[in-house]
Amino acid sequence: MKKKFKLQDLDCANCAAKMEDAIKKIDGVQDATVSFMTQKMTIEADDARFDDIMKEVVSVCKKVEPDCVILM
């Protein structure tokens, strides 16, 4: 399943790159892109575990950029 999410308060391109790298390491994630310019994130992951994977994604993003909010 591939889903797009809008990001709020992503402050820098470096943070976006760190978030993208960390998300790609999560078990079950096939691909991920985080764009600072468009403030959007695309996640491609297992359908069956998508909700659990998204909880991990939110946790990872908070560690990298505490102010960033993923609008679901």
CATH number at residue 46: 3.30.70.100
**What is the pTM assigned to this prediction?**
0.94
- Give the pair of three-digit tokens for residue 59: 């946790």
Nearest to 38 by CA among 59, 8, 58: 8
Q: How many CB atoms lie within 10 A of CB 3?
A: 12
Q: Is residue 49 included in any domain, yes or no?
A: yes
pLDDT at position 72 = 86
Determine the structural domain holding residue 25 and report its residue range: 2-66
pLDDT digits over 11-70, tens only? Answer: 999 999 999 999 999 999 999 999 999 999 999 999 999 999 999 999 999 999 999 999
Q: Is residue 71 included in any domain, yes or no?
A: no
pLDDT at position 63 = 96
H-type helices in the chain, by residue range? 13-24, 50-64
Report how many domains make up the chain: 1
